[in-house]
Chains A and B, each alone.
Chain A
């Protein structure tokens, strides 16, 4: 039989081709090709860098912050951002950037504090400054921070302070932790739910599929904010911040899984009809084999795209809920919680620096969207690029 025969290739075999016809001397798998295509996507690569920076900052928030985010400074309520400068008021150039100290007076009419830079007090900005001890990561404590000024009585407020005199910069840095991780945890839950439900829906089809599809349609037609509001209103007020955090992620993924489930089901249905799956069945493979060897590897990239594009929705969801005061609550620090300070038009008009966390929300959301776009373009195995 065939096993015993090794025949020379046919004369008309394609091996007679010369080198310029031999396509692809280097062999690349689909995964490698996808990475290569993704790398060519400059915007997505830039976004990846931004996200890496964000997550590094989130991981070592204490190091990047300039102060303890919950420390109140009654002397500096609603202090404006201190802008690092190179040229002082007399026009001298300083190689090391510096900030001026803040001088405060009280407006006799409005009783508001008015701050202005004190040109006599120059504080050079130094790197790796020694400060009070803080928790870096888990059990590790540290006392050096990335930037700071060496002064006993003048704190550094790069983004100004809030109503209690807390440093907005440090709060934004610490808020990164919650805001960016809630997206990941939420997406993980969505992924698990979506894979399971979408897989069942695509695999069983028939009545089960019909019911699941209708449920998904109902879920996506519910207006998100009121739905979340109703659910989060039912969370017990006495729950610890950790409990609330997880409750919120579950809330967010309750709607988030539908997208993943739809993609998974769609891919299941289309791949089930594709010839290489038929070939696998024709050689005697069972469902488990087909799913593990063919379906999952082939739709995984699409799932990756979907979840990348779901993360920003989660971040926005958390921000919206916390902003409305029904998500996370102080003392927890997240970008949404920080934005609560900017709910009042007068505050925003007079103290625009309170909107800084919003800028970070926008950057993070855009970065995730760009990465998602890049992945989507790279995922198509037969794209011409």
Chain B
């Protein structure tokens, strides 16, 4: 292992779906690393493959509709081992012991991810008892402790309540409590605040920052909201049509964006206090079913498109240390081998 701080690295991950209308390359050659204690953002519009990436890491892709068809997901837990998650059977014992224990996930819609017929406490206890072999009493104590940590008032009473008795924000807190109950090393947050109101969103984002510090957990946050990413992530991966087009530390993404798509996204969002006309990206996200191969998929929408863009797929160029960009504009920079 090259880097002992590396927690998870995706190497040329490919997850495809086999629909009746044809092959959908939802994730098509994604490579990125997540270091221990780091929070990494994955940002992109609908259909860019950001959620499928996270589901692939959790081995939650439903076969036979879709499958990981290539690449590696190397997970290096603290015990020093190194596991390629793609090699594990999704329903196998080893994957189950990773899922929810070493890697946890929180979803966009907390109501559908909580089971309405069990109390919040029971659901947290279930995860704890499954993975930590603790007694029922210990598990309950743990549940109350976790609810306290995520800022749920009167946890001793609320631990015995059902999800429908919680408000949207409280449910998301409970989801986070559940996700953290087994002390995971890695937390995937898939659009964790999209369903929430602004003031509640601010509460949850604050909570996630706090727990990252307190628990030292690495977070991968997936969202379409550039505001959320700016607030939460240290490094950002920008995805478009199943591929990562730009990768950099957060400040560089927002203040030194290189890829025309990233630039376009930033110019598309209204900024408070700057009442000028927006500069949108023309066209819309293409249908993944009809994509040709070996071209830049952004070319038809790109203001800087050149002849080569619709003939050959650009390689990943390293523009600066830790700043890579998949665009022909930077031809001549150092190429990064995938």
> Given A40-B20, A384-B19, are A21 and B282 neighbors across the interface (CB < 8 Å)?
no
Nearest residue, chain B, Cβ from A14:
B283
Interface string of A371-385 (1 = CB under 8 A from B): 000000000000011
Interface string of A310-332 (1 = CB under 8 A from B): 00000000000000000000000
List A contacts of B291 (CB < 8 A): 20
> Given A20-B291, A20-B292, A21-B287, are A12 and B300 neighbors across the interface (CB < 8 Å)?
no
Bound form: Cα–Cα A40–B20 in Å: 10
Bound form: Cα–Cα A23–B290 in Å: 8
> A17 interface residue, CB < 8 Å from B?
yes
Distance (whole angstroms) from the CB of A178 to the closest CB of chain B: 40
Q: Name the interface residues of B265-299: CB closer than 8 Å to any CB of A.
A: 280-284, 286-287, 290-292
> B310 interface residue, CB < 8 Å from A?
yes
Q: Name the interface residues of A1-39: CB closer than 8 Å to any CB of B.
A: 11-14, 16-18, 20-21, 23
Indicate the size class of the contact surface on chain A: 10 to 19
Nearest residue, chain A, Cβ from B19:
A384
Check B282 against A13 for contact (C-beta < 8 Å). Answer: yes
Bound form: Cα–Cα A23–B20 in Å: 16
Distance (whole angstroms) from the CB of B289 to the closest CB of chain A: 9
Bound form: Cα–Cα A18–B301 in Å: 9
Bound form: Cα–Cα A94–B244 in Å: 72
Check B300 against A16 for contact (C-beta < 8 Å). Answer: yes
Check B300 against A17 for contact (C-beta < 8 Å). Answer: yes
Check A12 against B282 for contact (C-beta < 8 Å). Answer: yes
Within 8 Å by CB of B300, from A11, A18, A40, A384, lies A18
Within 8 Å by CB of A20, from B19, B280, B286, B301, lies B286
Check A21 against B290 for contact (C-beta < 8 Å). Answer: yes
Nearest residue, chain A, Cβ from B300:
A18
Bound form: Cα–Cα A17–B283 in Å: 6
Check A23 against B300 for contact (C-beta < 8 Å). Answer: no
Interface string of A341-385 (1 = CB under 8 A from B): 000000000000000000000000000000000000000000011
List B contacts of A12 (CB < 8 A): 280-282
List B contacts of A17 (CB < 8 A): 283-284, 286, 300-301
Check B19 against A21 for contact (C-beta < 8 Å). Answer: no
Within 8 Å by CB of A21, from B20, B280, B281, B283, lies B283
Distance (whole angstroms) from the CB of A17 to the closest CB of chain B: 5
Nearest residue, chain A, Cβ from B310:
A18
List A contacts of B290 (CB < 8 A): 20-21, 23
Check B282 against A16 for contact (C-beta < 8 Å). Answer: yes
List A contacts of B20 (CB < 8 A): 40, 384-385
Distance (whole angstroms) from the CB of B321 to the closest CB of chain A: 35
Distance (whole angstroms) from the CB of A328 to the closest CB of chain B: 45
Check A16 against B283 for contact (C-beta < 8 Å). Answer: yes
Bound form: Cα–Cα A21–B288 in Å: 9
Distance (whole angstroms) from the CB of A32 to the closest CB of chain B: 16
Distance (whole angstroms) from the CB of B79 to the closest CB of chain A: 42
Within 8 Å by CB of B286, from A16, A21, A40, A385, lies A21
Nearest residue, chain A, Cβ from B280:
A12
Nearest residue, chain B, Cβ from A22:
B290
Check B284 against A14 for contact (C-beta < 8 Å). Answer: yes
Interface string of B1-24 (1 = CB under 8 A from A): 000000000000000000110000
Distance (whole angstroms) from the CB of A303 to the closest CB of chain B: 26
Bound form: Cα–Cα A16–B290 in Å: 17
Chain B CB within 10 Å — which of A16, A20, A385 has the most?
A20
> Given A16-B300, A17-B300, A18-B310, are A23 and B282 neighbors across the interface (CB < 8 Å)?
no
Bound form: Cα–Cα A40–B19 in Å: 13
Distance (whole angstroms) from the CB of B23 to the closest CB of chain A: 14
Nearest residue, chain B, Cβ from A15:
B283
Interface string of B293-328 (1 = CB under 8 A from A): 000000011000000001000000000000000000
Bound form: Cα–Cα A281–B286 in Å: 34
Bound form: Cα–Cα A18–B311 in Å: 13
List A contacts of B292 (CB < 8 A): 20
List B contacts of A385 (CB < 8 A): 20
Q: Name the interface residues of B89-134: CB closer than 8 Å to any CB of A.
A: none
Distance (whole angstroms) from the CB of A296 to the closest CB of chain B: 29
Check A14 against B310 for contact (C-beta < 8 Å). Answer: no
Nearest residue, chain A, Cβ from B278:
A12
Bound form: Cα–Cα A218–B301 in Å: 60
Bound form: Cα–Cα A12–B278 in Å: 11
List A contacts of B310 (CB < 8 A): 18
List B contacts of A384 (CB < 8 A): 19-20
Nearest residue, chain A, Cβ from B289:
A23
Distance (whole angstroms) from the CB of A46 to the closest CB of chain B: 18
Q: Name the interface residues of B1-60: CB closer than 8 Å to any CB of A.
A: 19-20
List B contacts of A21 (CB < 8 A): 283-284, 286-287, 290, 300
A-B contact pairs, 30 of them (CB 8 A): A12-B280, A12-B281, A12-B282, A13-B282, A14-B282, A14-B283, A14-B284, A16-B283, A16-B300, A16-B301, A17-B283, A17-B284, A17-B286, A17-B300, A17-B301, A18-B300, A18-B310, A20-B286, A20-B290, A20-B291, A20-B292, A21-B284, A21-B286, A21-B287, A21-B290, A21-B300, A23-B287, A23-B290, A40-B20, A385-B20
Residues of chain B whose beta carbon lies under 8 Å from any beta carbon of chain A: 19-20, 280-284, 286-287, 290-292, 300-301, 310
Question: Other than the known A12-B282, A23-B290, what 5 A-B pairs have Cβ atoms closer than 8 Å?
Answer: A11-B282, A14-B282, A21-B286, A21-B290, A385-B20
